[in-house]
Structure 1
Amino acid sequence: MKNNRIIGFDFARAFAILGMMLVNYKIVFNQSIVKYNILNQFISLFEGRAAAVFVILAGVGIGLMTKKSYVSQDRIERKKMKITLLKRAIFLFVLGIILYSVFGWTADILHFYGVYIAVLVLFIYLKTKTIVTFGFLTIVIGTIMQLTFDYSQGWDLAFNNYEGLFTLSGFIRNTFFNGYHPFFPWFAFILFGLALSRLDFKDEKKVKELTIGALGIAIFIEMISIGLQNNFGYTELAIYLFDTKPMNPTALYIISATAWAIFFIGMCVILSHRKSKDKTFEVVVNGGQMALTHYLIHVLVLIVMIFVDQLAYHDEVFVIAISFIVFLFMLLSSHIWLSKFKRGPVEYLMRKVTK
């Protein structure tokens, strides 16, 4: 622990950024061409998993941020927290839209974040069981929508470009139904993160129990997914209904990704109990504390490279190499920055404009 901060969360957040880089750089540079199958499968492990960790940790962070007012039931403080969160939601939404519209970053998650957080304001002071119940209700609604509407509407055949995003109907459809991180059912992740924040992560025994339980659930759901798809002969419909890939985000995907995320976060917290004074651990933690800044950096790297090589094909070796190079740069730069300043530049800007 450092100033009562659970640094295991920051450690997990740093590696979630690395996972998102691997996935996003693969989307842009691989162009759906597989050259090295083993490396492609390795990168695919992070698809929808790294982002899920990121969103769940957002829920955890908001839960910890509002914990004092949740316990005290101070109405004035609660209102203040809600207003602050709404301002941050607007900040992230606008920032994400700028990345999408001005810089062409179609896989942006920040404007989805803005929507998640704006709606989460309605849930932050509810009981934990109620929050979890709404999380599963979100999954049910998402599943019903996928069975009712055309999930491919707006997408090209490769699911890379989305037509009509900036029309009213297209934007609503993309945001709530079939975008990269649609509200239904992705909102469940941030709700589960909020519920997770109510647990005592300083109790290592409870964290271990949570981590082992999450691993068991994750493996069980993956086995169910494989069994159901195998039973129906891996037909297109079976994959659509029972796969645990993020597109389309099935109920099994959301539950599986949540369980894997909790397992990973739990492992990072356990590690933090033992390695909190380790210098290498501290460097990674610093990277996690500047996650928003680093998310923007990884997008800017993409934009620069797209401009330089005009979307030339690069294989999986390149994707992994550039991801780790950028990641190491992020860790080093954040360690230097935080030795002089309290927060990262984008984190500081967000707090400044959302006071």
Structure 2
Amino acid sequence: MTAPASRIVGVDVARCLALLGMMATHILATVTAGGESSTSHVIASGRASGLFALLAGVSLALVTGGSTPHHGRRLMGERAGIVVRALLIGFIGLLLGALPTNIAIILVYYAVLFVMALPFLGLGWRPLGVLALVWAVAGPAVSLVLRDGIESPTRIVPSFEHLVAPGDLAQSLLLTGYYPAMGWFAYLLAGLAIGRLDLRRLAIAARLAVVGVAVAAVTWLVSADLTRDAAVRRALLTTDEGGATTWSQLRMQLDQGSYGTTPTGSWWWLVPIGPHSGTSFTLLHTIGCSMAVLGVAVLAARVAPRAWSVLFGAGAMTLTLYSLHIVLLTPEIPPKEIPSSYLPQVVVVLLTGAAYALARHRGPLETLVGSLSKATAESRWLRKAR
């Protein structure tokens, strides 16, 4: 059996893994009984959401021409469709943000990243790759400078109530929130660059995996080496805002995760790696991890792709299933948000994805967003404008 030619099954496999990883960070314990970071937290925290964002860039690249980017009138229509897609995803994110959960909903941030990507959709993989690298290095540095003058950073889970204070909402989405675009746009640019490669070629997928492992390893080792220096540790400790007094406390604090940003008192805050810290090394490391996962997923799915597309069918409908997952975390809906509820949610997600894949249907939210986006891209008024 073969998978539909219009989809790269490995991308859906990687997207499913990202969804399961994000679910794990929401539900499973972050520390063990001995006070150390749990295995699930070490593997998934920060990396799953980074992979999710990078794959969003891959998807944008695929719908705008893949390895041969569209231009002219066709790209103009696709840009309009992506604006509609961003608005709908942002609307869904605002709805989910109003639910009584403890989750930092990512969808409104995604919508912002989609709009930011519009000027870059006509570029090939080389300029996009350079832009991703530059943004990963420079974005956190610019953020550090801009945030230094902000006394009370705005960090909110966007919902409709925040629309009455657009300035605070914009500050959170772009600079101080849980997934600030100033840093996270590097993931989308990297995904766009990867999506401009011919991912169906064996050699490309293999190189993606190898380069990803190399980037992840090198950034980890360099960051670890730099933070061994006593002067660097002293600079980080004296500017830390979390109350750490020893390096082991600060390292554990970083490993447990930040809330989108780091303190601004020292340039050395661009160096440590930690979940959701938004540092330059964190962005580069998680981009490398995401490249490796995607490359391996694409390689694996070349064998019996139809079976992979069913087993990991959830990856083709992550908007629907991510939304379902958030709804299931509300107090009114059982089971409660406890570690033992993770496996039942995984089963629900995988079975739902498999059922839709077997029926060859798209998820309901994917159908809604996709159809309205496509209708906009192909609308009559746009054709007249051309």
Question: TM-score w.r.t. structure 2 length?
Answer: 0.78
| Partners of 1:180 and 1:269 in 2: CA distance | 30
Q: CA deviation at 1:171?
A: 1.1
2:118 to 112, 117, 121: 121
Counterparts of 1:135-284 in structure 2, within 5 Å, are 135-139=132-136, 140-150=138-148, 153-154=152-153, 167-231=165-229, 232-233=232-233, 235-236=236-237, 237=239, 240-278=269-307, 281-284=308-311
| Partners of 1:288 and 1:175 in 2: CA distance | 26
| Counterpart amino acid of residue 354 in structure 2 | H
Query: Which sections of structure 1, spanning at least 5 residues, go unmatched?
Result: none
Question: TM-score w.r.t. structure 1 length?
Answer: 0.85
Q: 4+ runs of 1 displaced by more than 4 Å?
A: 36-39, 68-72, 102-106, 159-162, 305-309
| Partners of 2:31 and 2:67 in 1: CA distance | 51
| Partners of 1:217 and 1:130 in 2: CA distance | 18
Q: After superposing the two structures, state which structure 1 stretch, 45-54 or 95-104, moved more.
A: 95-104
| Partners of 1:93 and 1:219 in 2: CA distance | 35
Q: CA deviation at 1:118?
A: 1.1
- Counterpart position of 2:261: none
| Matched-pair contact (CA < 8 Å) for 1:10–1:289 | yes
Counterparts of 1:276-315 in structure 2, within 5 Å, are 276-278=305-307, 281-304=308-331
Return closer, same or farther for 1:328/1:137 CA change in 2, 3 Å cut-off. same
- Counterpart position of 1:342: 361
In structure 2, the residue corresponding to 1:303 is in which secondary structure?
coil
Q: CA deviation at 1:287?
A: 1.2
| Partners of 2:359 and 2:210 in 1: CA distance | 39
| Partners of 1:124 and 1:307 in 2: CA distance | 42
| Matched-pair contact (CA < 8 Å) for 1:60–1:193 | yes
Q: Does 1:327 align with 2:328?
A: no
Query: Which sections of structure 2, spanning at least 5 residues, go unmatched?
Result: 241-253, 255-268, 376-386
Q: After superposing the two structures, state which structure 1 stretch, 165-174 or 219-228, moved more.
A: 165-174
Q: CA deviation at 1:251?
A: 0.3
Q: After superposing the two structures, state which structure 1 stretch, 201-210 or 267-276, moved more.
A: 201-210
| Partners of 1:197 and 1:244 in 2: CA distance | 26
Q: CA deviation at 1:10?
A: 0.5
Q: CA deviation at 1:205?
A: 2.3
In structure 2, the residue corresponding to 1:200 is in which secondary structure?
coil
| Partners of 1:22 and 1:41 in 2: CA distance | 11
| Partners of 2:92 and 2:3 in 1: CA distance | 30
| Counterpart amino acid of residue 329 in structure 2 | L
| Partners of 2:87 and 2:289 in 1: CA distance | 30
Q: CA deviation at 1:102?
A: 4.7
Q: How many residues align?
A: 337
Identity of aligned residues (%): 21
| Partners of 1:266 and 1:79 in 2: CA distance | 30
Return closer, same or farther for 1:128/1:64 CA change in 2, 3 Å cut-off. same
Cα deviation code 1:151-182 (max 9, x no counterpart) = 88346xxx8989x9653332122111121111
| Partners of 1:64 and 1:186 in 2: CA distance | 20
- Counterpart position of 2:248: none
| Partners of 2:9 and 2:330 in 1: CA distance | 31
Q: After superposing the two structures, state which structure 1 stretch, 109-118 or 238-247, moved more.
A: 238-247
Counterparts of 1:7-26 in structure 2, within 5 Å, are 7-26=9-28
Q: CA deviation at 1:132?
A: 2.6
Q: CA deviation at 1:63?
A: 0.6
In structure 1, the residue corresponding to 2:119 is in which secondary structure?
coil
| Partners of 1:196 and 1:118 in 2: CA distance | 19
| Partners of 1:23 and 1:77 in 2: CA distance | 40
Cα deviation code 1:39-59 (max 9, x no counterpart) = 624323211100111111111
Q: CA deviation at 1:255?
A: 0.4
